[in-house]
Amino acid sequence: MALTLMKGSEAIAEAAIRAGARYFFGYPITPQTEIPEYMSARMPEVGGCFLQAESEVAAINMIYGAAGTGARAITSSSSPGISLKQEGISYCAGAQLPCVILNVMRGGPGLGNIQASQGDYMQGVKGGGNGDYHLLTYAPASVQEAIDIMMFAFDKAEQYRVPVLFLADGIIAQMMEPVEMPEMVDFKIDPEKKPWACTGWKPGDDPAKRGVINSIYIDTESLTEHNEVLQTVYKEIVANEQKWEYYNTEGAEFIITAFGTVARIAKSAIDELKKEGVKVGLVRPISVWPFPYDAVREAVMADSVKAVLDVELNEGQMLQDVKLAINGAKPIDFFGHYGSQMPTVDEVKAKIISMKEGK
């Protein structure tokens, strides 16, 4: 198949449409505004719906409405807007509604800036909204990877009845890369496959099949039961859906952990260090929830590995998961920036060299 040069935001939007998304609700915010702009032009061409909501709060609740009918619905935003969506995300998780949410992360806290950031890792994987829930969360490192994940994101969301979150830093949306765009998936709402959806129940039908999209379970027993259902699903996801990439981990003296665009910088540093005779490997979590704890631990526990360096575009958020994975077995160091200034290849190299020299 031919490669096309595409901007990340547009490629991600087109991939969502190819994956069967026909309902987009969103609100403009840099650096992801090209996604709603693209959707506004493209959705009518495929018989879909683009609607600019009055706020991110409304947009995620429109997703709640559309997803409850069984349709494939998607919303996108950037950090401050994702904060506004947290209420609705928690409701989607509680009501077990499959949907896709894109966070093209920018600097924070507060209004922060409009440059790339990875500052919403904690918000994405450790909660964000209220209650005991998780989102199947992916952190793509290239435009192609974002497309590829999008092509199965709705399937996973529907299989487990959970919202899927993309944690993409601003660079993924803003850069152009040659990509291969998959064929259009033929998706139709199928009440058989989604017996829980609101698809036209009428009095006289089986009462158990009436569509009730809901997250309230007022007595302790029924809420316990409901949460047990959710937790069972989360356990299955942890068992089956961990994704990661190993790069040069064989015989490495140091292991770098990094996700998203930062991992690509780490790779460049690793390549240069290799030429200089320093063996460094990378573990890149692709699913950040479920976090690939075992994969990180396995790479780090190899005899050759002396220490670990976690590199992020924040103050060390994934670092906590890396520490949990390693559980004190090897020393861990951190390098990162938190003003949206990308760590450079030279900085990562210098950090590894200083670790090697025992500084």
Partner 1 sequence: MSQVVFEKTQYLTDKQFHYCPGCNHGIIHRLVAEVIDEMDLDGKVIGVAPVGCSVFAYDYFNCDMYEAAHGRAPAVATGVKRVVGDDTMVFTYQGDGDLASIGTAEIVHAAHRGEKIVTIFVNNAIYGMTGGQMAPTTLVGQKTTTSPRGRDEAWCGAPIRVAEMLAQIPGSYYIERVAVNNTANIVKAKKAIAKAFRYQKEGKGFCLVEVLSTCPTNWGLSPVEAMKWLEENMIPYYPLGVYKDKEA
State which of residues 26, 31, 36, 88 lies at the interface with partner 1 (CB under 8 A).
88
Q: Which of 11, 12, 35, 71 binds partner 1 (CB under 8 A)?
A: 71
Take residue 180 and report the two structure tokens written for it.
């291969």
Residue 83, helix vs strand vs coil: helix
Q: Is 61 in the site for partner 1 (CB under 8 A)?
A: yes
Residue with tokens 């509680």: 94
**From candidates 1, 2, 47, 54, binder to partner 1 by CB under 8 A:** 54
In sequence order, what are the residues at sequence separation of 6 or more whose Cβ sits closer than 8 angstroms to the Cβ of residue 278? Answer: 253, 254, 352, 353, 356
Q: What are the structure tokens assigned to 226, written together?
A: 């409901």
Stretch touching partner 1 by CB under 8 A, among 169-177, 196-204, 245-253, 329-337: 196-204
For the stretch 230-247, what's the b/e string if a residue is b when 16 or more beta carbons lie within 10 angstroms of its beta carbon?
beebbeebbeebbebbeb
Q: Residue 198, interface with partner 1 (CB under 8 A)?
A: yes
Residue given tokens 């190993």 in the structure block: 246
76 or 317: CB nearest partner 1: 76
Which member of 28, 30, 65, 113 binds partner 1 (CB under 8 A)?
A: 65
Minimum CB separation of residue 85 from partner 1 in Å reads 11
**Shortest distance, CB of residue 211 to partner 1, whole angstroms?**
4
- Interface positions, 280-319, toward partner 1 (CB under 8 A): none
Binding-site size for partner 1 (CB under 8 A) equals 42
Q: Which of 13, 16, 18, 25 binds partner 1 (CB under 8 A)?
A: 25
Q: Give yes or no for a contact between 356 and 253, defined as CB atoms under 8 angstroms apart.
A: yes
DSSP H or E run through 73? strand 73-77
Contact 325, 301 (CB under 8 A): no
Asked if 205 interacts with partner 1 (CB under 8 A), we say yes
Stretch that binds partner 1, among 87-95, 155-163, 170-178, 297-305 (CB under 8 A): 87-95
Which one of 6, 73, 255, 296 is in contact with partner 1 (CB under 8 A)?
A: 73
Tokens of 202: 């009428």
143-160 and 220-240 helices, crossing angle to 10°: 140
Please say which residue, 66 or 102, places its beta carbon nearer to partner 1. 66
- Binding segment for partner 1 among 53-61, 111-119, 174-182, 259-267 (CB under 8 A)? 53-61
CA gap 310, 313 in Å, rounded: 10
Structure tokens at 206: 């089986």
Span of 131-139, 148-156, 200-208, 345-353 interacting with partner 1 by CB under 8 A: 200-208
Task: Tell me the C-alpha to C-alpha distance, in Å, between residue 134 and each of 93, 295, 332.
Answer: 7, 20, 27
**Binding to partner 1 by residue 212, rule CB under 8 A?**
yes
Tell me how crowded residue 111 is: count the other CB atoms within 10 A of its CB: 10
Short-list 129, 108, 127, CA closest to 31:
108
Helix (H) or strand (E) holding 178: strand 176-179
Which of 176, 184, 216, 350 is the binder for partner 1 (CB under 8 A)? 216
**According to the binding rule CB under 8 A, does residue 223 interact with partner 1?**
no
Does residue 100 bind partner 1 (CB under 8 A)? no
Q: Is 27 in the site for partner 1 (CB under 8 A)?
A: no
- Residue 194: closest CA among 83, 73, 111: 73
Positions in the binding site for partner 1 (CB under 8 A): 23, 25, 49, 51, 53-55, 57-59, 61-69, 71, 73, 87-88, 91, 95, 198-205, 207, 210-216, 218
